[in-house]
């Protein structure tokens, strides 16, 4: 089996794009359907516009991944930085609640 590779990144020529993202839990752990996960993610995403310049629209939370639409303001943090920030924050909040060790 070949290792997972990311697609090449190119800079968009339009700054205000609407992104459709799929973000997967570490090793596709089925941990995202617990009630505290929904509460933590929605709180983080609601505050994200003022903190990071990213607005989250519709989303679909599955057991091991989340699909979401997001749009950055003209002065938003880079997409990868924003994703890393909310993943890190949500992981730190949820690991004790879900009694998990290691990456979320």
Q: How many CB atoms lie within 10 A of CB 56?
A: 20
pLDDT at 97: 84
User: Strand (E) positions, 1-104?
Assistant: 18-24, 54-61, 65-72
Residue 4 has pLDDT above 90, yes or no: no
pTM of the model: 0.77
Question: What are the tens digits of pLDDT across the range 46-71?
Answer: 999 999 999 999 999 999 999 999 99
Q: How far is CA 102 from CA 11, 35, 60, 75, 99, in A?
A: 33, 20, 24, 33, 10
């Amino acid at each position: 089996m070949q290792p997972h590779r990311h697609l090449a990144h190119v800079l968009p020529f339009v700054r205000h794009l609407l992104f459709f993202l799929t973000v997967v839990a570490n090793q596709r752990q089925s941990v995202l359907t617990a009630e505290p996960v929904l509460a933590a993610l929605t709180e983080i995403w609601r505050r994200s516009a003022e903190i990071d310049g990213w607005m989250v629209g519709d989303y679909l939370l599955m057991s091991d991944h989340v699909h979401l639409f997001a749009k950055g303001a003209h002065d938003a943090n880079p997409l990868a930085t924003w994703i890393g920030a909310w993943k890190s924050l949500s992981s730190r909040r949820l690991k004790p609640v879900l009694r998990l060790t290691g990456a979320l």
